[in-house]
Every structure is written in C-alpha cells, then in structure tokens.
Amino acid sequence: MSHPLQRDPEDALAPDTVADSGEVIRCDACPVLCRIREGQAGACDRYANENGKLVRVDPLVVLQRGAPAVPFFEPGKPWDGTLVSGANTFITGIGATTTYPDYKPAPFIVSSKLEGVDMVTVVTEGIFSYCGLKLKIDTDRYLGPEQSPVRVEGEQIGHVTTAEYGSQMLSLGGVRHLTGGTKKEGTVTCDALLRLANRQPVEMKIEDGSTVVVQAGEPPIVNGEREERMRVGCGSATIGIFAKQWHGHADEVIVVDDHITGVLTEHQAGRFLDMRPAGVRVRGRKSTPGRYFKVAEPGLGWGGTDIVDPLSIIEMIDPKRAWQGMRLLMVSTTGEDAEWFVLDGDLKPVKQPMPDAIRKVVERIAENCEPALCTVLFMGGAGGSLRAGVTENPVRLTRSVKDLMTRVTCGGAPTYVWPGGGITVMVDVLRMPERSFGYVPTPALVLPIEFTMPLEAYAAMGGHVDRVVSLQQALREAQFKAHAWRRENPWPVCT
Ligand code: SF4
C-alpha cells in the first residue's frame, strides 16, 4: 500500500501537465498548485473540484459557549441567524482555508464586540515547514539514550531529548527532517507528526532502545507493555515522602531509581527521625548522604533500571553496623516492585513475607502515582509570511503578540508564545478540537491559527481593516460545523 503522504501532487494533475479547461481548476492554497479534475480532490485531500468550483472539503469549525444551537450548517439551507451571537461564537482556523501567498488578506477577518470594545479575530490555516512536536511520555522505563534517533518505518523523524521528572521526552519533526533529508524521510516525518497531532497512535523505534506506541492523552506502550503509573518521585523524594510512615516498621529502606536511589537511614529524612545507620552500602556514585546516582544501567526493570534482582545493587553490608534480624525493604518508585528481607546470622538478606504495615505504605506509593499519559505539544513558527495575511506591516503583529495585545489561539486553544524573536507558538493538541491538523505534500503541516485583538490595535498595526466583516457575514456563505466550547480553555476574545 502506498504511503498516504507519498501521493504525488501530480496525481492531482500538477501544473503544466494539463492544459486549463473548464473541468480542471488550479488550487493555489499552497505552493504545490495542484490542478484538480472535476469531482476529484487535490494532493492533500483538503481541496476538491466540485462542479468546477474549488471547495475546502472539511467544513469551517466554529466554537460556541453553551451547546451549539445548530451543529451543522450548509449554505443554501434555511437559517434564521440565531446560531451566531458574536459574544458566544468563535470562528477557528479549522477548515478556514489558506490564502497563499500570504500577501493576500487572511480568509476570515471577523469583528465582534466585547463589553463595548470592538474586537477583531484574524483566522487562517497556516502552513508550517518549521514545526515539530514535543512528546512527554510518563514512564521510567528506558526508552533509549539521550540524542538517540527516533524512527518510523526506518526513517529518522526525531530524537530522544532531556528527560524530565518522571517522564521521557522526545523531540520530533522540525525543518531538517521535513525538508533536509530524502523525500521519504520528509513524508514519513510529516505523516507521523500529522497522526500524533490528530491524536492517533504512532509506533516508534528508538535506536539502541525500546519500541514505544504514543497517542496523546493515552498511556504509552513500551515494548508491548502498557504503562500504568508515573513514579511518585525520584528515589530520594520517595524516601522524603514516606520516611515517617516506615519508621518503626523497617530498619532500612532502599528506593531503587535509575536517577537517584535513596537509602533511608543515611538520608536526611532518616537522620531527622534518629534512625540507626544500617550499614547497607549500595553501588553507584554517592551524591549526598543517602542519595546515589547510577546504581545500575537504565532498563525495563526496577525503577527504570535494568535490575531484576534488587539485591544486586547492594555492594556490601557492614558487619560493624548491621545486625541479625535487621528488617530491609527494597522498593521501586512506583511501588510496582517491592521485596522484604530480614538479615540472618551471617547478615545475609533473606526474603520474607511482607508485613501488613509495610505493604500498606508500598500500596500508598502506588496510590500516589498519577496515571501515566502521553502529552503531545505542537511547536511551530508563525512569525513568517503568514503574518502578511494579518497586516501589511508584519513586525507590528509580532510586537503586538509580545505586548500581549494580540492573543494567539490554535483551533481556539490557548498557546504559549516563546519569548524572544518571532512568533514561536506551542499548543497542547488535546485542547484543540479533534482532527484539527492537516498537511500539504511540500511536506508541511497545516495548523489552524487565530489572532484576536482590539479593532483599534488592528488598525494601528496596518491590518486589512477593509476586509473586516461581521460574524454573520463571514458565516453566510460558509459551510460550517459548530462544536461546544471546551470549558477548560479561556475564551479568546477578551481585552
Ligand atoms: S496540496 Fe492541497 S492545498 Fe496544496 S495545491 Fe494541492 S489541493 Fe491545494
């Protein structure tokens, strides 16, 4: 089966291969410039030739506070206009179309009123070659070495980046993978980004590491195993949280963790409780008392290490300090792995049934773990020519965004705009409507984006004020679909 993004634009009749005729129209919504036969769609499946007219295949998505009064509207059908009240309806960029090249005004420049202030929202579907995804994968399981290539269908689409607290991080896409390698690398990268951004699962292979299936809002599946819990904290933090609850029930607790393994009686928390040093020395590099780095190699065993037998991290037991009958708990940072030992006459740890008081605390570790999820953030640069669809003087839009005068949303979802130059936005795909993203085979992703600001500010930045229309005017000719506003998102039209 051919790759969905390997469909050549020429399948849709590339420029100069077919003469213009009444039946063939040219789409100029992206640089591919497909010529599309009647009844067929262009290379990205977003535009089609419907009876000789170029149409956007998907309806425009509008969001409404409260339940949508009319969920779907087709032009030509009776409509009494009650759907749209400017205060409660927001036009998103989803299905809005793109105006390429961007010196043309954006497809929708819509006015509204807020508490007596005239507002404007500029709406478009931006085409992003400079874009990628940041993936946060809640797991301690070893995915692969930092900087290791992440591959789909054998093509590198990104790399492993710096791990965060309880999560492994991947950086995917970017202009180098989209445009700088082979055609296949670009199309596979674009397809993987598109599926992830649209909340679909993607299986990735990490070089010298694991296979992981990632889907936004779902637990990761690492080497076929569905992750359940995110660790409660590092080994040292786990000691800090539960030391008091272990006190009196165990003589030593070792919390096994790939990054910082904790040893209770040496740790500040154990000292604070006046616990007797137990003389168990673990492998690895001592950072501070009771905190050890690199007790083992990373892996799929206890606490994100390669450990299967927890006793393997014990370097020695000091006979001057340890004693017969000493009670030792070894536990992982999620409570998934735990074993209870009592030292015999030779000071050897012997596995014993775990007492209820200890089991209760181990279960509490698990209870305090949050569900493991995958988070997918889109990141892209909106500081390029897209701005010309908003204003004749693009740097003023950038300044207005930086001055918080202009609010940037993607499909109505709030964005984080990076400090410094440009308009580099980040958005959580789960806060956007489903299937918000599209692609073009250049290859690049298509992202809905909206800029909202007071009309006065829009005029001052050199905006296309002659193209401002009311919401009713904008929707009169559009085929649109109304979705309920997501309550967790702030309403974007605000002063
Ligand atoms: S790829 Fe899509 S947007 Fe680009 S020209 Fe073809 S139909 Fe139009």
Nearest CA to ligand 1 atom 2: 44
Which sign, positive or negative, has the C-alpha torsion 403, 406, 411, 413?
positive
Which residues lie across from 226 on neighbouring strands? 221
Name the strand (E) or helix (H) holding 378. strand 374-381
Q: Is 471 in the pocket of ligand 1 (CB under 6 A)?
A: no
Tens-digit pLDDT profile for the chain (495 aa)?
A: 334 444 444 444 433 334 455 689 999 999 899 999 999 999 999 999 999 999 999 999 999 987 665 556 665 555 555 555 667 889 999 999 988 777 789 999 999 888 889 999 999 999 999 999 999 999 988 899 999 999 999 999 999 999 999 999 999 999 999 999 999 999 999 999 999 999 999 999 999 999 999 999 999 999 999 998 898 999 999 999 999 999 999 999 999 999 999 999 999 999 999 999 999 999 999 999 999 999 999 888 998 899 999 999 999 999 999 999 999 999 999 999 999 999 999 999 999 999 999 999 999 999 999 999 999 999 999 988 889 999 999 999 999 999 999 999 999 999 999 999 999 999 999 999 999 999 999 999 999 999 999 999 999 999 999 999 998 889 887 889 989 999 999 998 875
Q: How many angstroms is it from 4 CA to the middle of ligand 1?
A: 15
Distance separating alpha carbons of residues 387 and 106, to the nearest angstrom: 9
Give the number of the atom of ligand 1 that is nearest the alpha carbon of residue 47.
7
Note if the pTM is more than 0.85: yes
137: left (phi over 0), alpha (psi -120 to 50) or beta: beta
For 394-455, strand residue ranges (E) read 407-410, 413-414, 416-417, 424-428, 438-440, 444-454
Q: How many angstroms is it from 43 CA to the middle of ligand 1?
A: 6
Q: How many angstroms is it from 378 CA to the middle of ligand 1?
A: 22
φ/ψ (deg, to 5) at 400? -65, -40
For 300-373, strand residue ranges (E) read 314-317, 327-332, 338-343, 349-352
Q: Is 27 in the pocket of ligand 1 (CB under 6 A)?
A: yes
Q: Is 46 in the pocket of ligand 1 (CB under 6 A)?
A: yes
Distance separating alpha carbons of residues 423 and 387, to the nearest angstrom: 9
